[in-house]
């Protein structure tokens, strides 16, 4: 792909009115893409869609990091001519939705790829990803077009051992697309429990309640998500849970049924002190499993951490509803 072809494709993929800026410490504007394309920094991903994975490497030898890390050749690299710091881009063949109407599985998969690549590249984990060195701007950046072929997610994943969430990462340290996954999970699990007592208030009040919860979750991140993404996530969860609240009620009834079974078991002599202790440990383990799941761990990782079988983890989490 030559420069002219790249310019045409890149320009076509921009949002109609992307964010843009002259640089760090200066104002951020919203302009038509006809004007935004002239700024040194520009928003390359449309709102709520990930088409490009961008990594910010603030080191003098940043250009070589993908090669040293044995990662695939990027789509492009934009390098600061003065200090060598780079933005490295991988274009996705199929864009991934981050919020409204998103399916959580591909988003979580992409978030794991992003986090694993960032670690392997030595990229800035706190990079918000909103503004990127404009690859069309050859005045401020040294831009190299390297790979015209967009990437499948599976292809990118083949180069790394996916790190869905570092074991020691606390919630306020979650970055990148992991924030979208964490918010989605936190809000939906909260919503499943709350919907039963919120039906009478009407959908408008319910939506407002979900949005307030999403905003609270967002405040726990070191780099909060844009308000537009918070609103879209809240709308997606609120609509789905409201529309399918009968399913949520079923889960509540299922939990109640399980509790009743436990009571019946107790009346039949299984309520010894040892049985109570085992029951308490079981409840604690299930609670921890759910917590680790919300934080981004997969079932295999949770099983290893809690020293139980993967089948047990799967059984414990089967009550969850996937949007």
pLDDT value, residue 319:
44
Domain limits at 143?
3-157
Question: Do 7 and 146 belong to one domain?
Answer: yes
Does residue 236 share a domain with residue 120?
A: no
Confidence of residue 167 (pLDDT cuts 50, 70, 90): very low
* Final residue before a domain boundary, out of 157, 182, 214: 157
pLDDT bin (cut points 50, 70, 90) of residue 260 is: low
pLDDT for residue 37: 95
* Same-domain pairing of 113 and 229: no
- The angle at the Cα of 257, spanning 256 to 259, to the nearest 5 degrees, equals 65
Alpha helices in 104-202, H assignment, sequence order: 104-121, 153-157, 178-194
Does residue 132 lie in a domain region?
A: yes
Q: Is residue 187 part of a domain?
A: yes
pLDDT higher than 90, residue 42: yes
Would the pTM count as exceeding 0.75? no
Q: Which residue has the tokens 């709102």?
A: 47
Taking CA 135 as the corner, what is the angle to CA 77 and CA 92, rounded to the nearest 5 degrees? Answer: 65
Q: Is residue 165 part of a domain?
A: no
CATH at residue 255: 1.10.340.50
Q: How confident is the model at residue 22 (pLDDT cuts 50, 70, 90)?
A: very high
Span 204-251, pLDDT tens digits: 999 999 999 988 888 878 778 878 888 888 888 888 888 877 655 445
Looking at the structure, tell me whether residues 211 and 125 fall in a common domain.
no
Same domain (yes/no): 47, 105: yes
Residue 35 has pLDDT above 70, yes or no: yes
User: Would residue 162 count as lying in a domain?
Assistant: no
**Alpha-carbon distances of 152 from 38, 72, 91, 215, rounded to whole Å:** 30, 12, 9, 32
Residues 258-285, mean pLDDT to the nearest whole number = 51
Domain assignment of residue 167, yes or no: no
Least confident among 84-88, 300-304, 308-312: 308-312
Assigned domain for 78 exists: yes
Asked whether residue 114 is domain-assigned, the answer is yes
108 and 43 inside one domain: yes
| Residue that is last in its domain, among 132, 157, 182 | 157
Q: What is the pLDDT of residues 69-84, one digit of tens each?
A: 999 999 999 999 999 9
pLDDT band at 164 (very low <50, low <70, confident <90, very high): low
Mean pLDDT of the chain: 80
Number of domains in the chain: 2
**Does one domain contain both 180 and 109?**
no
Q: Which of 129, 157, 185 is the last residue of a domain?
A: 157
Are both 177 and 305 inside the same structural domain? Answer: yes
Whether 143 and 188 map to the same domain: the answer is no
d(CA 255, CA 258): 5
The pLDDT assigned to 263 comes to 55
On whether both 28 and 76 belong to a single domain, the answer is yes
Q: Which range, 100-104, 124-128, 169-173, has the best average confidence (pLDDT)?
A: 124-128
Going by pLDDT thresholds of 50, 70 and 90, the confidence category of residue 103 is: low
Q: Do both 320 and 183 map to the same domain?
A: yes
pLDDT: which is higher, 112 or 266: 112
Is residue 164 one of the residues assigned to a domain? no
Q: Is the dihedral of CA 132, 137, 141, 147 positive or negative?
A: positive
Same domain assignment for residues 250 and 222: yes
Residue 13 to residue 31: CA distance in whole angstroms: 15
């Amino acid at each position: 792909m030559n420069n002219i072809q790249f310019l045409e494709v890149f320009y076509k993929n921009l949002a109609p009115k992307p964010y843009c800026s002259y640089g760090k410490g200066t104002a951020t504007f919203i302009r038509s893409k006809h004007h935004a394309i002239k700024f040194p920094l520009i928003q390359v991903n449309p709102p709520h869609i990930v088409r490009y994975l961008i990594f910010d490497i603030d080191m003098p030898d940043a250009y070589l990091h993908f090669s040293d890390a044995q990662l695939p050749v990027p789509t492009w690299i934009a390098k600061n001519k003065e200090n060598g710091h780079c933005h490295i881009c991988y274009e996705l063949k199929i864009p991934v939705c981050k919020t409204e109407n998103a399916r959580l599985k591909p988003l979580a998969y992409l978030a794991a790829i992003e986090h694993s690549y960032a670690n392997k590249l030595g990229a800035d984990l706190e990079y918000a990803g909103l503004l990127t060195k404009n690859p069309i701007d050859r005045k401020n950046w040294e831009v190299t077009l390297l790979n015209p072929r967009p990437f499948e997610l599976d292809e990118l994943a083949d180069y790394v051992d996916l790190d869905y969430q570092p074991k020691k990462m606390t919630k306020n340290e979650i970055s990148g697309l992991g924030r979208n996954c964490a918010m989605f999970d936190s809000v939906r699990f909260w919503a499943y429990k709350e919907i039963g007592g919120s039906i009478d208030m009407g959908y408008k009040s319910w939506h407002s309640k979900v949005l307030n919860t999403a905003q609270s979750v967002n405040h726990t991140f070191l780099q909060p998500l844009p308000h537009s993404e918070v609103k879209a996530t809240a709308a997606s969860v609120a609509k789905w849970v409201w529309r399918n609240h009968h399913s949520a009620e079923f889960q509540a009834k299922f939990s109640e049924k399980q509790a009743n079974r436990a009571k019946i078991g107790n009346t039949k002599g299984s309520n010894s002190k040892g049985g109570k202790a085992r029951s308490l440990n079981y409840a604690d383990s299930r609670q921890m499993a759910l917590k680790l799941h919300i934080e981004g761990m997969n079932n295999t990782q949770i099983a290893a951490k809690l020293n139980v079988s993967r089948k047990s983890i799967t059984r414990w989490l089967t009550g969850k509803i996937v949007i």
